[in-house]
């Protein structure tokens, strides 16, 4: 039986991380909408620093703004600011009209290079919500988001200078940034499939996303996502993100991905390499298809007994990649290997 790993649904282009003049962005929310729509984007998550502001007035039949904000948690407070580890997570509301923030800490606002207008903040308490830079402390913030009607993603781990002792212990995320345009332009190697794989191997069933983290015009259109949903509505798009019905890209497009009778099938825009990888060291003879001239548009890969999960990477002649999330074995085939996964998790 054919099992579609990318759903047979409508496909919408999305940037899930951007900043406007409400915080430290250089463009207004209206300017961001116009720029992204001109390039064929249908979905834009507004995630200004520390402040949750809905922009439902920007929605039209071809454009969906998602309501969100970005929270930072600093570690290593004895060090100068730019030497510290820092965790950034994005809260995206399940309800477009959500106004109340699950977490607000005024000290974090004061640490920003540009402070947003805190008069827009809607929250309970005194604005001194407790935070702790540790895996447990960050998990508490993730849970607070989940409990208050948000989905939560993990941003730019390499720019943040974080390590496996932190990110392999997260719980409750829907996704992590495998690429971040703004951070790359500031000199950081932000394409980090190895971090994503460490997180998956630790037991996290999460997706991977590629985002602009837009602050200025130079950040535009470097990383994006294709989201599969029945329609361009808030509820359907949030459900697609929760379900992992999307993939990340910096250029290539994956046109189809399915599993049938022990074989994975992928169809894509012209590429020089298509790779299937898993939690181990998969045999390269049945895992890689290459063409230096960039003429590959499809590939087939047989399943391996080591495939506790699989993920796919498409690379074009410019070195740009498209990355699927990890698909776990129970999603495409029943096998005793599923039970073995629990004993093979790694921890940082």
Chain-wide mean pLDDT for the chain?
Answer: 94
Task: Report whether pLDDT(342) > 80.
Answer: no
Task: Report whether pLDDT(336) > 60.
Answer: no
Task: Tell me which H or E stretch contains 51.
Answer: none
Please give the average per-residue pLDDT across 50-61, as a whole number: 96
Is there a single domain that holds both residue 16 and residue 99?
yes
Residue 26 burial (C-beta neighbours within 10 Å; 0-12, 13-18, 19+): middle
Share of the chain above pLDDT 70, in %: 96
Structurally, how many domains does the chain consist of?
2
CATH of the domain at 308: 2.60.40
Is there a single domain that holds both residue 301 and residue 229?
no
Task: Report whether pLDDT(103) > 80.
Answer: yes
Predicted TM-score (pTM) of the model is 0.94
Task: Tell me which H or E stretch contains 68.
Answer: strand 64-74
- Taking only the tens place, the pLDDT of each residue in 252-296 is 999 999 999 999 999 999 999 999 999 899 999 999 999 999 999
* pLDDT for position 72: 92
In a domain, 62, yes or no: yes
Please give the average per-residue pLDDT across 131-159, as a whole number: 97
Is there a single domain that holds both residue 80 and residue 201?
yes
3-state secondary structure of 157: coil
Is there a single domain that holds both residue 101 and residue 141?
yes
Put residue 261 in one of left, alpha, beta given phi > 0 → left and psi -120 to 50 → alpha: left
Please give the average per-residue pLDDT across 50-69, as a whole number: 97
CATH of the domain at 221: 3.20.20.140
Is there a single domain that holds both residue 244 and residue 261?
no
Residues spanned by the domain of 60:
8-249
In a domain, 2, yes or no: no
For residue 224, what are the contacts with CB-CB under 8 A and spacing of at least 6? 13, 14, 15, 41, 210, 211, 212, 248, 249, 250
């Amino acid at each position: 039986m054919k099992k579609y790993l990318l759903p047979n649904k409508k496909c919408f282009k999305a940037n899930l991380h951007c900043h406007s003049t409400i915080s430290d962005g250089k463009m207004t929310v209206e300017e961001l909408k116009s720029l992204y729509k001109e390039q064929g984007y249908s979905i834009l998550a507004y995630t200004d620093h520390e402040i949750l502001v809905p922009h439902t007035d920007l929605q039209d039949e071809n454009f969906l703004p998602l309501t969100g904000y970005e929270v930072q948690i600093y570690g290593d407070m004895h060090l100068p600011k730019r030497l510290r580890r820092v965790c950034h997570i994005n809260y995206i509301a399940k309800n477009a009209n959500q106004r109340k923030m699950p977490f607000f800490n005024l000290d974090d606002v004061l640490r920003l290079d540009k402070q947003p207008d805190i008069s827009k903040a809607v929250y309970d308490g005194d604005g001194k919500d407790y935070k702790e830079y540790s895996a447990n402390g960050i998990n508490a913030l993730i849970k607070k988001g989940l409990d208050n009607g948000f989905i939560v993603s993990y941003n730019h781990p390499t720019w943040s200078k974080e390590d496996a002792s932190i990110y392999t212990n997260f719980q409750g995320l829907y996704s992590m940034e495998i690429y971040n345009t703004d951070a790359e332009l500031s000199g950081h190697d932000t394409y980090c499939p190895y971090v994503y794989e460490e997180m998956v191997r630790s037991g996290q069933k999460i997706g991977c996303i590629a985002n602009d983290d837009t602050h200025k015009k130079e950040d535009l259109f470097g990383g994006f996502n294709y989201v599969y949903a029945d329609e361009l509505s808030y509820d359907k798009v949030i459900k697609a993100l929760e379900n992992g019905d999307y993939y990340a890209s910096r250029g290539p497009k994956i046109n189809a991905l399915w599993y049938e009778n022990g074989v994975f099938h992928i169809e894509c825009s012209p590429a020089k390499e298509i790779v299937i990888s898993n939690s181990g060291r998969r045999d390269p003879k049945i895992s890689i298809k290459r063409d230096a001239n960039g003429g590959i548009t499809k590939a087939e890969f047989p399943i391996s007994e080591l495939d506790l999960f699989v993920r796919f990477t498409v690379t074009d002649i410019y070195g740009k990649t498209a990355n699927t999330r990890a698909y776990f074995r129970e999603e495409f085939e029943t096998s005793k290997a599923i039970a073995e996964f629990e004993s093979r998790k790694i921890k940082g």
